[in-house]
Structure 1
Amino acid sequence: YLLGKALTLYEEMEAVMTQSYGPEARGGASSANIVVADRPIDYPFVQKADVLVALSQEAYSKYRDQTTPEAIVIHDAGLVAIEPVDTSIGIPATRIAEELGRRIVANVVMLGAFAAHTEITSKEALIQSVQSTVKEKTLPMNLEAFEAGYAFASETEQKNG
C-alpha cells in the first residue's frame, strides 16, 4: 500500500496493486503485487516481477519462480535462505525492527531497503507515503524503521548469491 500510494500520489505514476493473503497471513506466504507504468495500465496483474521482497522463507519459496531471471531479491537475511543464482540484498529487517522496539515495523525496514536499491520511486515519495498513512503515535518509529532499512541497504552492495 505504501509503495502504491507513493507512486500514484507523489510520483504521478500509474500503479495497480493486487493482494493475496492465505489463512496464515501473519508470517506465511502472503503477497502484494504492484504493476507500475508511466501510462495507463492495460493489464493489472504482474506477469513476472522485477523485484521480490521476501520476509519469510515460505514467501520466497512460493514466489521466486514468478520473477524475471534478472530480478532483484530483497530478503530478510535472518529468516530467508536464497538461491545462489539470485541477485540479492540481504537485510536483517526483523532484527533491526526488534532493536527499534517493534518487530511489526520489519516491513517498513524493507521498504527503506527497497528505496535504496531500486529506482522505481524516490525516497522522498516513500517517506511522504509513510507520513500520510501511519498513525501519528507510531510515525516516529515507522520513519526510524524506514531510515534504518535505507541506511543498511545503502551500505550493502547488490551481490550475486
Structure 2
Amino acid sequence: MARVEIKIGGFGGQGVILSGYIVGRAASIYDNKHSTMIQAFGPEARGSACSAQVIVSAEPIAYPYIVSPEIMIVMSQEAYTKFTPELASGGVLITEEELVQPHNLRKDVKHFSIPATRFAEELGKKLVVNIVMMGFLTAVTNVVGKKAMGQAVLASVPKGTEELNVKAFEKGYEYGVEVMAGGVPA
C-alpha cells in the first residue's frame, strides 16, 4: 500500500476530528501501518466548519500534511463546497446523503452517498453519524481493515457508549458492503 491521503470534513459536533483520530489509530495501532492526523476547526465549539487530514502509509511518513487527498468524506454542504476541489483525480468521495447535495460532481472521481444521519437516528443517537461513516469507509475502501477499524472505534469512544458505537459501525459497514455488491445505488 502506498501513501493514502484522507480528508474528512463537516461541522463541529459531527465527530469529524474523532473520525480522523479513529482512522489514524486503526492504521497505526491495529493495522501495522503508519499514520498522521492534522485537525482544523473554526473558533466556535459547534457548528463551524472543521476537518481532519489523515495520512496512512506502509512506510514512515516524512511530510504529515495532505497535498491531494485520494479519499474524502464530507458531512456538510459547506465542507463539500470548500474541500471537494482538493480531491485527487480518480479519488473516492463519500457524502452524507441528507446533508450534502452534490453539485458539479466531477466525472473523474468515484462518488458514494450514505444516509448516515438517518441510520444514526434509527439507532437512537444522531451523534454516532461519524461512526456510521467510519463503517462505510471501511467497506468501500481498503485503507484499513474491518477488525482494525472496529478495535479503534471501541478504544476511542466514551465509556458506556461502546455497544451503540459498534452497532453504528456495523450499520455503516453493512451498507457499504451492499453498495459494493450493487445492492443499492452508490
Q: Would you call these one fold, judging by a TM-score over 0.5?
A: yes
Matched residue, 1:139:
162
Runs of 4+ in 1 over 2 A off after TM superposition: 23-29, 157-161
Amino acid at match of 2:35: A
Task: Please state if 1:89 is matched with 2:115.
Answer: no
Task: Please state if 1:50 is matched with 2:50.
Answer: no
Moved more, 114-123 or 24-33: 24-33
- Partner Cα separation in structure 2 for residue 50 and residue 28 of structure 1: 24
- The Cα of 1:135 is off from its aligned counterpart by 2.5
Name stretches of at least 5 consecutive residues in structure 2 with no aligned partner: 1-20
* 1:17-67 C-alpha deviation (Å, 9 max, x unpaired): 000011356344211001111111111100000000011111111110111
- The Cα of 1:2 is off from its aligned counterpart by 0.6
- Cα contact 2:179–2:185 (8 A) shared by 1: no
Name stretches of at least 5 consecutive residues in structure 1 with no aligned partner: none
Matched residue, 1:99:
122
CA 1:117–1:43 in structure 2 vs 1: closer, same or farther (change >3 Å)? same
Task: Please state if 1:155 is matched with 2:169.
Answer: no
Aligned counterpart in structure 1 of residue 140 of structure 2, from 117, 127, 130 = 117
Aligned counterpart in structure 2 of residue 13 of structure 1, from 33, 36, 52 = 33
Instruction: Provide the aligned length of Structure 1 versus Structure 2.
Output: 161
- Cα contact 1:49–1:66 (8 A) shared by 2: yes
Amino acid at match of 2:154: Q
Amino acid at match of 1:22: G
RMSD: 1.9
Percentage identity across paired residues of the two chains: 37
TM-score (norm 1): 0.93
